């Protein structure tokens, strides 16, 4: 089908939108987002040289941005990608002010501190990649409110606690990676099995929704597609049992050895006959 040229009436409808554009150049929410993010980050290699107060007020000129790592769409910050820049510091909760953000990729830096639960108000977010940093604390269950999330990559951090069950409700998730953290507990069934999300056909293929590589490297995470919980109670008992058993055994053995030795010395003494010899062996007092 050939594309039909827009009718004049449609162009007229677009006109007020075009006139509105200049005011969109300085969005107070984007400005708050960028300036708070900048002040929460350390930048040892000077990658954020252009991230100055002057540019925060007008980071976008339509579709182009003056800021490293920022992509604009119609005057609003739409993509933030600062990867492998040795950035330190924390994630500002004010990232939530970049309300048009669709992709947030701050992977491969040295960011620390928690993942702010405020990110849940980024309702257009499709990509969240915070992998290979030093982020700690729990995975906020509120992230399940970002209903359009396609990619959630949090691998190689030091996140703790459980994987929130709610994340299993993210129906559009096509990439999920929490490997190499310090997570614990059971893997939510909705993340492990396709049945609930993709239907019976996928379930019949007997493939997990996300395979073990999404969960590897967390010592205390268990359940399909990882091995089941280790029988901690039993093995502790077994270890105690083995310990006690071998302790007792060595006690009995050494006791027996001493007894035999005593018996042997006694018998040697008796066999040599004279009591005098025995008394001779005794020290004089």
Contact residues: ligand NAG, CB under 6 A: 28-29, 32, 50, 66, 68, 83, 96-97, 107-108, 129, 131, 151, 153, 175, 189, 192-193, 206, 211, 213, 224
> What is the number of other CB atoms lying within 10 angstroms of the CB of residue 108?
18
Distance CA 131, CA 38 (A): 19
In residues, how long is the chain?
A: 285
Q: What's the CA gap between 230 and 234, in Å, rounded?
A: 9
Distance CA 273, CA 191 (A): 85
Q: Which residues pair with 135 in a beta bridge?
A: 113
CB distance 80 to 101 below 8 Å: yes
- Residue 41 CB: number of other CB atoms within 10 A? 21
User: Considering the complex, what minimum distance in angstroms separates the CB of residue 232 from ligand NAG?
Assistant: 21
Question: CB of 148: closest distance to ligand NAG in angstroms?
Answer: 15
Of 100 and 107, CB closest to ligand NAG: 107
Residue (96 or 145) nearer to ligand NAG, CB:
96
Closest CB to ligand NAG among residues 26, 112:
26
**Residue in 160, 39, 29, 151 with CA at minimum distance from that of residue 92:** 39
Task: For tokens 């162009």, name the residue.
Answer: 11
Residue 107 or 218 having the CB closest to ligand NAG:
107
Contact residues for 75 (Cβ-Cβ < 8 A; gap 6+): 21, 24, 25, 27, 60, 62
The two three-digit tokens of residue 243, written as one number: 């310990």
Q: Which is nearer to ligand NAG, 53 or 175 (CB)?
A: 175
Assign residue 270 a region: left if phi > 0, alpha if psi is -120 to 50, beta otherwise? alpha
What's the min distance (Å) between Cβ of 254 and ligand NAG?
51
Give the shortest CB-18-to-ligand NAG separation in angstroms.
25
Give least dist CB 20 to ligand NAG, A: 19
Minimal distance, residue 97 CB to ligand NAG, in Å: 4
Query: In angstroms, what is the minimal distance from the CB of 260 to ligand NAG?
Result: 57
Question: Based on CB atoms, which residue is closest to ligand NAG, 157 or 183?
Answer: 157
For ligand NAG, the closer of residues 84 and 247 by Cβ is 84
CA distances from 150 to 171, 173, 214 (A): 9, 4, 15
């Amino acid at each position: 089908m050939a594309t039909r040229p827009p009718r004049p009436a449609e162009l007229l409808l677009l006109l007020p939108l075009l006139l509105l554009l200049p005011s969109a150049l300085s969005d107070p929410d984007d400005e708050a987002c960028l300036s708070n993010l900048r002040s929460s980050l350390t930048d040892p290699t000077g990658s954020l040289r252009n991230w100055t107060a002057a540019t925060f007020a007008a980071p976008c000129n339509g579709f182009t941005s003056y800021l490293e790592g920022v992509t604009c769409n119609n005057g609003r910050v739409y993509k933030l990608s600062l990867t492998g820049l040795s950035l330190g510091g924390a994630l500002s909760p004010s990232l939530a002010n970049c309300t048009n953000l669709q992709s947030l990729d701050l992977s491969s830096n040295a960011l620390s501190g928690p993942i702010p639960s405020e990110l849940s108000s980024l309702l257009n977010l499709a990509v969240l990649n915070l992998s290979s940093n030093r982020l700690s604390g729990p995975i906020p269950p509120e992230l399940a409110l970002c209903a359009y999330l396609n990619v959630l990559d949090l691998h190689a951090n030091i996140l703790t606690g459980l994987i929130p069950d709610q994340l299993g409700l993210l129906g559009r998730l096509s990439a999920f990676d929490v490997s190499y953290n310090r997570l614990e507990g059971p893997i939510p069934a909705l993340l492990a099995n396709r049945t609930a999300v993709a239907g019976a056909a996928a379930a019949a293929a007997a493939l997990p929704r996300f395979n073990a590589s999404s969960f590897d490297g967390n010592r205390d995470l268990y359940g399909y597609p990882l091995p089941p919980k280790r029988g901690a109670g039993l093995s502790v008992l077994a270890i105690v049992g083995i310990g006690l058993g071998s302790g007792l055994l060595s006690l009995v053995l050494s006791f027996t050895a001493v007894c035999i030795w005593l018996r042997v010395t006694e018998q040697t003494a008796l066999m040599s006959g004279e009591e005098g010899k025995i008394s001779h062996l005794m020290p004089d007092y």
